[in-house]
Amino acid sequence: MGSDAASWGEDDMNSAADTIGGGRDALGATSGRMVALARLGIGLAQGIVLYLLMRTTEGDGATWSSRNPELFAAMLLPALFLPPVLLAGVGRLRIAILAAWAGVAATVLAGLAWHDIARQSGMDREPTFPLFAFSAVALFIAHHLILPADRERRLIASFAAYFDAAWMAGVQLAASIAFAGVFWLLLFLGAALFNVIGLRFLGELLRQGWFFLPLTGLAFATAVHLTDVRDGLIRGVRTIALMLLSWLLLVLTVLVGAFLIALPFTGLDGLWETGSATALVLSAVGVMIVLINAAYQDGRPENLPPAVLRVAVQVAAVLLVPLVGIAVWGLALRIGQHGLTPDRIIAAACALIGALHAGGYAHAAAATLRSGTRWMAPLERTNIAGAVASVLAILALFSPVADPARLSVADQMARLERGQVAADRFDYDFLQQSSGKTGHAALARLAASDDPVIAARAKAAQDQIVFNDPSESQDVRPIIDTLDGAPALPEPFFEIVGETEDARSDCRAPGDCLAVLGPSLGFPQGDVLLVQAGTVTVFSEDAEYGTYWSRGYFVPVVCGGRPAVDARDLLRQGRLRAADHSRPALETGSGVPAELVASARPRC
């Protein structure tokens, strides 16, 4: 370890000089000061752009971002992720390569964001969390495929160059984020100290978007430049991190080995019962791949780990195969039972990437035992192929090429058409709530089906969610109908006060809701019953304020029952009435009174 530390210290100085020199070569005669100014400018520009985008979300009623969600998302994603690419590329990539790569990255990010919004239904459309997470992963991998290739002026660089660039960037990114976080903690501490003596200007300033967003961009850019200049220190931190992670591989290998040995005695039932077996096992696969690479490092003989860790790497490489096999088996069982969903498609893509690594790593372990080749050398080709495959998979999943929602809807509809799933057990709610416009189009086709059960259930699913138009103000008058010849509803009943989750807020179109005065059904004076497809909500008058509040709701029909029944039809048929004045219950004609549920938000 001592000789390694000494060699690292010597390498630090050389690498730092090489890095600064390489930056000058990449930018011609640009000095380190110009690189610093460029990075600060990028950080400041990112903060300003994010502030301007934030302003588009503010205001009463419909905002620009809500009226143009696709355009807003297509601007937001590049504004978040493109500046870090530029910060990492300035001084390291040639200007022409950096400009071309930035243009491609911005275009792809904007396209992915646009598609993410365009495929959603309703009015309140926002970029999804998986888009942010997977876009960040793809961008990190792609950048560190391009950077070493440009340095070595080759299409595919050496594995040592890929390893050095990626792990250095990982440590640099973590350090920069930590620096920005501590920077803000110090500012908040300073604001608290000023508040103690009655000076609140700093605290007020930190809450202003025009101040804290550009300042955060500057802090992050400063951290990136400082860690870049002190390249040797970052390499030292990386060395320590790799050493610690390498020994953690030994722990994980023992745990995974014991788990696999115990499986024949315990069976897989307990694992399947968790409902998240595939995600759990794939997480273990991902962690093990990272730890194997931490121990292998760049594969150079002088960086070989101790003998015990070399054994752990080879054993872990073999253990990946059964682990991935269990994940694929569990995923196949779930898909066979319930069909495809977006989550299962993403999990399948992750399983394929895991299988690629498992096969390559197992081959590397076998090759090491069979011949005198360099220890685990085939692992390097596997990593490069896996990186490229990961980027391509993410691009396919979050674009129209392999849109998980589209594929899932097609599979679910095919299962229904083949009779693989019965009409009364089909997941209509998935089409309405979890598959965007594609699912809504499929649900509309089912609602027009000649099969009465399919049509009724599809229509019931369509009635469960009514998307509110954000261009309408919150105090918009709900559309509530009454029965022919029934007394008019009191005017205060149409005023929604305070409760954003009020059932009346769902009454946006004629026919959505019927209402009747309580006494006509045997309820007390001052009550109004709001009847929707699957629920009957009881509103009582607040005499002091002249408003109506929700006392609870009944579920007079079984959601997704057989056959589907609409509570509004029960009201029109005269089958709804109070069951007993001594307790809040509703007779529906079925012989079993519905009990009042103490909740202000009915959901079937």
Q: How confident is the model at residue 484 (pLDDT cuts 50, 70, 90)?
A: confident
**Cα–Cα distance, 322 to 316 (Å, whole number):** 11
Taking only the tens place, the pLDDT of each residue in 30-40 is 467 899 999 99
Q: Please state which of the ranges 329-333, 342-346, 430-434 shows the lowest mean pLDDT.
A: 430-434
Put residue 474 in one of left, alpha, beta given phi > 0 → left and psi -120 to 50 → alpha.
alpha
State the residue for tokens 């400018």.
Answer: 41
Phi/psi of residue 54, nearest 5 degrees: -60, -35
pLDDT at 274 over 60: yes
pLDDT at 320 over 70: yes
Whether this model's pTM surpasses 0.75 = no
pLDDT at 432 over 90: no
* pLDDT value of residue 589: 64
* pLDDT value of residue 61: 59
Instruction: Count Cβ atoms below 10 Å from residue 298 Cβ, excluding itself.
Output: 16
Taking only the tens place, the pLDDT of each residue in 173-214 is 999 999 999 999 999 999 999 998 988 889 889 989 899 999
1 or 120, higher pLDDT: 120
Beta bridge partners of residue 597, listed in sequence order:
553
Q: What is the pLDDT of the chain when averaged over all its residues?
A: 84
% the chain with pLDDT above 70: 85
SS3 107: helix
pLDDT at 26 over 70: no
**Cα–Cα distance, 157 to 66 (Å, whole number):** 45
pLDDT at 154 over 70: yes
Taking only the tens place, the pLDDT of each residue in 218-264 is 999 999 998 887 778 888 889 999 999 999 999 999 999 999 999 99
Put residue 587 in one of left, alpha, beta given phi > 0 → left and psi -120 to 50 → alpha.
beta
Query: What average pLDDT does range 512-528 have in this prediction?
Result: 89
**Cα–Cα distance, 157 to 149 (Å, whole number):** 5
Taking only the tens place, the pLDDT of each residue in 536-594 is 898 988 777 778 888 888 887 654 444 457 888 888 888 888 876 555 667 666 655 66
* pLDDT value of residue 401: 94
Can you state the angle between helices 342-370 and 277-296, rounded to 10 degrees?
40
Instruction: Count Cβ atoms below 10 Å from residue 525 Cβ, excluding itself.
Output: 8
pLDDT at 321 over 70: yes
Can you state the angle between helices 378-397 and 159-196, rounded to 10 degrees?
60
% the chain with pLDDT above 90: 51
